[in-house]
Amino acid sequence: MLYASIVSAQEDLLNELEDSTRAGDYTFATFKGQRLVNGQTIETIPAGDLQFIFSHRFGRLNSGIYEFFGLDDAYVRIGLEYGITDRLGVGIGRNSVDKTLDAYLRYKVLRQRSGDAAVPVTITAFGGAAAKLAPRNSDLPDAMPLNERLAYTAQFLVARKFSPAVSLQLMPTFVHKNTVDQSFEVNSNALLGIGGRVKITKSMAITAEYYHHLNEHNNSPFYNPLGFGIDIETGGHVFQLVFTNSRGLTERAFLTETLGDFFDGDIHFGFNVTRMFSFRRNGKEW
């Protein structure tokens, strides 16, 4: 009777596994966090969790010993992101560059899965707005209304996890700024980004991302943003070391206003630190 019971339990387990495979298994941890280097990833915050994000960029490495190779300068962003559902999140932040306030939503439209109902990629929609509060109206000859300080970003993030070690992502992107200097900028910016992650140990990975402008102004002084990172996972923290030609930490800033040439040494060293806080008890929010 005991043998028959064990055999029956094994058969039930095999049937459940077979049904699960038939229905499809979702892919998890395509990336370790919501930031690839500067830009976003397809990952969303679990429902009921709150993520604290601290991003820091130093000055340019080629600024010389007087500026201690950029370490004398500091640009930071402090942000929060909350998981409304497992697929929908909302975030806010404050960036010291241009005193920018930003807010955004992300929604995971499609999830990669295997099995008979296989889906080859994960797709996340990202939409954000940012208000550039510097310079102050009191420092300007003519006041600039809030509407003229606003910029908007829309992205479709398309990623595939090819193996436990390799993930790639495409980022078609649109950025609109309400007010620009028409002599060297355009209001509406189209970009195509590509990025990826290669896991080298259980807790460490190499990341990279690049965005190419598709319709920049002929007189534009700005460069395509490029960045490399090292992800280090330590329990509830994800620590990212970053090397990028952009000091900006919001989409408007690093996508459309990067002034450094990476290959000329205009590289900003920095880091991103994230910490997750859970407001759930026994799998439920509280």
Mean pLDDT of the region 16-31: 64
How many domains in the chain?
A: 1
Q: Kindly state whether residue 7 falls inside one of the protein's structural domains.
A: no
Q: Kindly state whether residue 22 falls inside one of the protein's structural domains.
A: no
Q: What is the mean pLDDT of the chain?
A: 89
Q: Kindly state whether residue 205 falls inside one of the protein's structural domains.
A: yes
State residue 281's pLDDT score: 58
Q: Kindly state whether residue 4 falls inside one of the protein's structural domains.
A: no
Greater model confidence, 137 or 79:
79
DSSP tag of 276: E
Q: Measuring CA to CA, which residue among 169, 125, 132, 173 is closest to residue 149?
A: 132
State residue 170's pLDDT score: 98
**Cβ-Cβ contacts under 8 Å for 274 (sequence gap 6 or more):** 33, 34, 35, 51, 52, 53, 54, 237, 238
User: 190 lies in which domain range?
Assistant: 31-285
Asked whether the predicted pLDDT for residue 14 surpasses 60, the reply is no
Asked whether the predicted pLDDT for residue 12 surpasses 80, the reply is no
Digit-coded pLDDT (tens) for 106-154: 999 999 999 888 999 999 999 999 999 998 888 888 888 999 999 999 9
Digit-coded pLDDT (tens) for 161-176: 999 999 999 999 999 9
Q: Kindly state whether residue 24 falls inside one of the protein's structural domains.
A: no
Q: Do 118 and 25 form a contact (C-beta atoms < 8 A)?
A: no
Q: Kindly state whether residue 234 falls inside one of the protein's structural domains.
A: yes
Which of 93-97, 192-196, 234-238 is predicted least confidently? 234-238
State residue 113's pLDDT score: 94
- Which residues are 238's β-sheet partners? 233, 274
State residue 24's pLDDT score: 62
Token output for 201 = 């140990």
Q: Kindly state whether residue 150 falls inside one of the protein's structural domains.
A: yes
Digit-coded pLDDT (tens) for 193-219: 999 999 999 899 999 999 999 999 999
b/e string for 214-251 if b means 16 or more Cβ within 10 A? eebbeeeebbbbbbbbebbbeeeebbbebbbbbbbbbb
Q: Kindly state whether residue 35 falls inside one of the protein's structural domains.
A: yes
State residue 236's pLDDT score: 67
Query: What CATH number corresponds to the domain at position 193?
Result: 2.40.160.40
